[in-house]
Each structure stands twice: as C-alpha cells, then as structure tokens.
Amino acid sequence: MNIIEMHSQGWQQLRERRAELPHALLISGQRGIGKFALAESFAASLLCEALTEAGTACGRCPACGWLAQGNHPDLRLLQPNALAEGEGSDAAAGDKSGKKKASQQITIDQVRALDEFLHVGTHRHGARVILLNPAEAMNRATANAILKALEEPIAGTLFILVSSEPYRLLPTIRSRCQTIPMRPPPAARAVAWLRHAGVRDGEQWLALAGGSPLLALELSAKGERVLLDSLLGQVSRGRGLDAVAAAAVVDKAVKAEKRPAPLKRTLEWSQKWLFDLTLVSQGLPPRYFVAHAPQLLRLAQGIDTRKLLAFNRKAIQYKAQCEQPVNSRLFLEEFFLNYVRLF
C-alpha cells in the first residue's frame, strides 16, 4: 500500500483540482499523516509527461527521472535548512563545536531565489510547482514575500503549502489558497501501510502516534524505543519515583539518542502520558498508551485532578523551555520533582 492508496480521499480532492488548477493549495492536517508525501506525489503528477490511468506519475519519463534525482528544473522545494539537513531544535548544552546551527525557518533569501525561477519560461512547457514545507516555518518577512507572489499569480505556476499548524499562517495567505484538509487515514489502512514498511507492532505505534502513520514509522525506530522505554520506566512508578535517579536514567537515553531533538521528543511523550493520565482519571480510556492502561489506572486512583491539570499546563511551558539551550539533566530533575508531587 502506498501513500496515495492510504489517502485515497485526499488524492481524489487533489485530482479534481487538475481540471481548473488554482494558483495556491494549502494541504493541512495533523503532523505525520503523510501531507508532504501526498503533496510530492501531486507535484510529480503535474510534471509527469506520461500519466497513468490512475492519474499518478509514471516513474519512467524524463520528467520523472529528474524528479527521482531531485533536480527537476520546474520544481522548487522551500523548507528550513535544519529539516533538509536532518537537524532538530534541541540546543545541546555544552556544545563546543562552534558550528552554526541550521535555520529552523524558511528564510527570505530562499524566497528571493525564486525570482528568476518564476519569471522565465518552464523547461518542458508545462506546470511550474513550488512546495513549501512546513509553511508555518515562514517568518514574517518570508510570509510577506510569498503573499506578494500569491497576489500576483503567474499562469501555470502552483504554490503548494503544507502545514500542520495552518492557524500560524497569515490570514491573507490562507485566504488566497484552496484548502485541502487531510484527516488521519483509517486505522486498518494505516496498519497495513506500516506492515508493508516493516513495522510489525503497527497498532501499538499507531496509537502512540495519535493515528499518524508516518509519525508511527518514525517513532518505531530503535532509538525512539529506548528513549520511550526509559521514560515509561520512570513515570509509571508514581509516588515511588526517585526524581534525581529518574532524571539520570532518562538523561542518559537523551544524550545517547542520535536522531534530532531528543529532549523535546521526551517532553512530547511526557505530555501524552499526562494527557492519558487525565483521561483515565475521568473514567475514560487512554488515547496513546493503550498498552499501559493498567498502570495508568493504578496511578489515577486518588490523584488530585486540579494538580494534574495544572501540571499539564506546566508541561507546555517545559516544552517551550527545551527549545532553548538547557542543561538536560537539571531540566529533567525539575520535571520529575514536580511530577512525583502529583501522587
């Protein structure tokens, strides 16, 4: 099963736009459901010179060859350099390399580089496509420059904005886009896709990812399992938790993790754990940690709901703090000290 089969409804909406192509599309939906992959597939179909009967790119023509090599002359991808280079947003405390961190934003220079691209003829006398992913990574200057381009559309040119947080976009940008809202695919399709991708326990990871299959695939990597197991081994202790020892265990996993933003990801897992703990305390089933329902039920018994809700709000602040340079060990100690006070 491929991304188009998994999102057949979203793909059909995109195909319907081909007859009268707008100058801008906004593909929105929660993180990790496959928005960008679908946008890439649609861009490929617009540039392909020998479409299949299903309306997908053939994969064999010269245009598809250029796309596969990442150098089609009529396609541009605007994304943060950090995303292109695989870097995360955690600032490592004590990093003495002096290496400048890649930008987390789509910069004005990237937009200015489009100037010539937009004002010369297309190489294959077909469509010209600009992908922005994630669109919310535009800063104010970048957004204003893109807005100007949207206000002065060029025939045959399509902007495709991909966003998990469309509310962060300028209202004037949103108003100039046709929006394609995407929902998580049906669980059965998502699990089948994960199985095809080599994830055996797809149901568990899909639940942990909130129904987002691409995020589930990312999370199922070995490093994420180690990070998650280290956290769950501590938060499931409840009042028996030793905050200092817990911080040492989780910090070791954070520092050993090679994938981007391990501290931020740890806080995101913590927020999901607190969310499930809140649900269970109100007699509802957990959303993410379904396999840990017994532990959550045990911890929820007798918990002060007001304290729990307050700590949920505090966790949002913690997540914002870990975007800045922090000492991860001390940061985690404070988190666990406040967590154990819930019980």
Q: Domain 3-183 belongs to what topology?
A: Rossmann fold (3.40.50)
Q: Does domain 221-340 have CATH number 1.20.272?
A: yes
Q: What is the pLDDT of residue 86?
A: 66
Residue 119 confidence (pLDDT): 86
How far is 338 from 295, CA to CA, in rounded Å? Answer: 19
Domain boundaries, the chain: 3-183, 221-340
Residues sharing a CB contact under 8 Å with residue 305, sequence separation 6 or more, in sequence order: 278, 281, 282
Q: What is the pLDDT of residue 88?
A: 47
Answer yes or no: same fold for 3-183 and 221-340: no
In SS3 terms, the chain reads as CCHHHHCHHHHHHHHHHCCCCCCEEEEECCCCCCHHHHHHHHHHHHHCCCCCCCCCCCCCCHHHHHHHHCCCCCEEEECCHHHHCCCCCCCCCCCCCCCCCCCCCECHHHHHCHHHHHCCCCCCCCCEEEEECCHHHECHHHHHHHHHHHHCCCCCEEEEEEECCHHHCCHHHHHCCEEEECCCCCHHHHHHHHHHCCCCCHHHHHHHCCCCHHHHHHHCCHHHHHHHHHHHHHHCCHHHCCHHHHHHHHHHHHHHCCCCCHHHHHHHHHHHHHHHHHHHHCCCCCCCCHHHHHHHHHHHCCCCHHHHHHHHHHHHHHHHHCCCCCCHHHHHHHHHHHHHCCC
pTM: 0.80
Position 93 scores a pLDDT of: 37
pLDDT of residue 1: 84
10-residue block means of pLDDT along the chain (343 residues)? Answer: 92 92 96 96 96 94 95 96 65 46 89 90 87 96 96 94 97 97 95 93 91 92 85 95 97 88 92 97 95 95 93 94 91 97 94
